[in-house]
């Protein structure tokens, strides 16, 4: 095989072109699952895959698979992939680097005359972002068997349209129960992604190899107290929903800071009250809490502590409440051997490399249920992500693609 040369200019051209496929005015990127922009984006990727001689298939939830057939077709393939959907007001690198970058890695190998023994397969996951249905990683959850078919069928978007409607819209064939992957479907899964955090840039490093992926759990809480005139309702006997909510936010902080693990993080990202008038006692509060950790043990301990606090606070304050676990996902420990392999490849190329934790979650979290998994991170400007000024340089991307291509070469030969 000739030395691998990534065509970084061609890739950058494609990333720039792809960023113009958006529901918002460029440079803002918005591509919500099965929107017109998402469908155009899917076609763009399909064309590039076909040009590279890859065989395409789409599953029942719209995950797309593009396979470069190896000489030993019976062997489990090496898989890679990411997503092309983007939240409202996003940038052009999140997910896209792992999709267009993987196509470039495959073309790089083809140009060098590499012939894989194992097949190499690119997966473009459906709805990594939660915009449409309020749940992230829809495609990879179903691939990993982490989401029940009943829950998937019950998903609705804000207009009340269900997954069945959108599946038809997206032209996804077959029944949903055909999506789940068998355990031996792939020999390995490696996702290329921008870091979405500041570590690599701050430490002037080229490559991060992910050892653990923190898993989120999300709680939704509705509190109902008793409203009233802010002047006429005297303090004794008030049942103020906001005050209960405020105590709950502090209980979240308390739980997240006392697990003994530095990786536990708890956030009350949503707190809405009704009626929301300056002279009225809040009678309703609505909270959503995000709790993450790399260890399921400490994460679940904190989760139970928060739930117990909610019950205690609401009972003491005579507030009616409902609490719902929207998701409780398993954190992933990446395959140690695969992590060593990828880190070794990166240092062999003279790239500076660090093993690290992914604190954002990714489709890899659920692919880890199927096969040995890790991720390749590249630095991004100030760690910015999910905003239009998200940026990684062509050179930074080139290094990530190079490591991915070399990983394919090593694992598929």
Binding positions for Zn ion, rule: CB under 5 A:
94-95
Closer residue to Zn ion (CB): 282 or 400: 400
Say if residues 325 and 219 touch (Cβ distance below 8 Å): yes
Q: Write down the least CB distance from residue 360 to Zn ion, Å.
A: 7
Q: Write down the least CB distance from residue 94 to Zn ion, Å.
A: 4
Q: Which two tokens stand for residue 216?
A: 């989120």
Q: Write down the least CB distance from residue 357 to Zn ion, Å.
A: 16
Closer residue to Zn ion (CB): 283 or 377: 377
Closer residue to Zn ion (CB): 95 or 139: 95
Say if residues 140 and 125 touch (Cβ distance below 8 Å): yes
Closer residue to Zn ion (CB): 62 or 95: 95
Q: What is the number of other CB atoms lying within 10 angstroms of the CB of residue 51? A: 10
Q: What is the number of other CB atoms lying within 10 angstroms of the CB of residue 298? A: 18
Cis peptide before 27 (omega within 30 of 0): yes
Q: Write down the least CB distance from residue 62 to Zn ion, Å.
A: 17
Closer residue to Zn ion (CB): 78 or 194: 194
Rounded CA separation 48/51 (Å): 5
Residues in the chain: 413
- What residue has token string 């449409």? 132
Q: Write down the least CB distance from residue 377 to Zn ion, Å.
A: 11
DSSP string, 115-172: --SS-EEEEEES--S-TTTS-S-HHHHHHHT-S-HHHHHH-B-TTS-BHHHHHHHTT-
Q: Write down the least CB distance from residue 344 to Zn ion, Å.
A: 25
Closer residue to Zn ion (CB): 94 or 211: 94
Say if residues 82 and 99 touch (Cβ distance below 8 Å): yes
Rounded CA separation 20/15 (Å): 9
Closer residue to Zn ion (CB): 94 or 406: 94
Phi, psi dihedrals of residue 289, rounded to the nearest 5°: -120, 130
Residue 191 bridge partners (DSSP): 375
Q: Write down the least CB distance from residue 363 to Zn ion, Å.
A: 8
Phi, psi dihedrals of residue 125, rounded to the nearest 5°: -80, 140
């Amino acid at each position: 095989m000739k030395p691998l040369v990534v065509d970084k200019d061609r890739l950058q051209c494609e990333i720039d072109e792809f960023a113009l496929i958006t529901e918002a005015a460029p440079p803002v990127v918005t591509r919500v699952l099965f929107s017109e922009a998402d469908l155009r984006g899917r076609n763009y990727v399909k064309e590039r895959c076909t040009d590279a001689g890859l065989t395409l298939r789409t599953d029942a939830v719209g995950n797309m698979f593009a396979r470069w057939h190896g000489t030993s077709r019976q062997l489990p393939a090496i898989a890679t992939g990411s997503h092309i959907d983007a939240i409202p007001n996003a940038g052009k690198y999140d997910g896209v680097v792992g999709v267009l970058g993987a196509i470039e890695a495959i073309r790089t190998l083809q140009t060098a005359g590499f012939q894989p023994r194992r097949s190499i397969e690119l997966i473009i996951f459906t709805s990594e972002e939660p915009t449409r249905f309020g749940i992230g990683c829809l495609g990879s959850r179903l691939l990993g068997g982490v989401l029940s078919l009943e829950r998937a069928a019950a998903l609705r978007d804000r207009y009340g349209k269900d997954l069945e409607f959108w599946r038809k819209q997206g032209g996804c064939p077959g029944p949903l129960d055909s999506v789940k992957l068998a355990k031996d479907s792939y020999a390995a899964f490696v996702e290329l992604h921008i870091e979405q955090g500041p570590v690599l840039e701050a430490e002037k490093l080229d490559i991060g190899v992910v050892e653990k992926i923190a898993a989120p759990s999300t709680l939704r809480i509705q509190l109902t107290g008793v409203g009233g005139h802010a002047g006429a309702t005297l303090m004794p006997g008030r049942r103020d929903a906001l005050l209960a909510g405020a105590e709950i936010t502090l209980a979240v902080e308390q739980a997240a800071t006392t697990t003994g693990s530095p990786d536990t993080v708890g956030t009350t990202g949503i707190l809405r009250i009704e009626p929301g008038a300056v002279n009225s006692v809040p009678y309703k509060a609505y909270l959503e809490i995000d709790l993450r950790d790399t260890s399921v043990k400490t994460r679940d301990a904190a989760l139970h502590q928060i739930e117990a606090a909610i019950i205690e606070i609401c009972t003491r304050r005579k507030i009616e409440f409902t609490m719902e676990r929207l998701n409780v996902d398993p954190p992933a420990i990446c395959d140690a051997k695969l992590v060593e392999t990828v880190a070794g490849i990166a240092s062999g190329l003279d790239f500076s490399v660090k093993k690290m934790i992914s604190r954002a979650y990714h489709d890899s979290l659920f692919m880890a249920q199927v096969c040995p998994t890790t991720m390749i991170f590249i630095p991004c400007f100030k760690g910015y992500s999910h905003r239009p000024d998200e940026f990684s340089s062509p050179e930074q991307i080139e290094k990530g693609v190079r490591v991915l291509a070399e990983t394919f070469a090593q694992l598929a030969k």
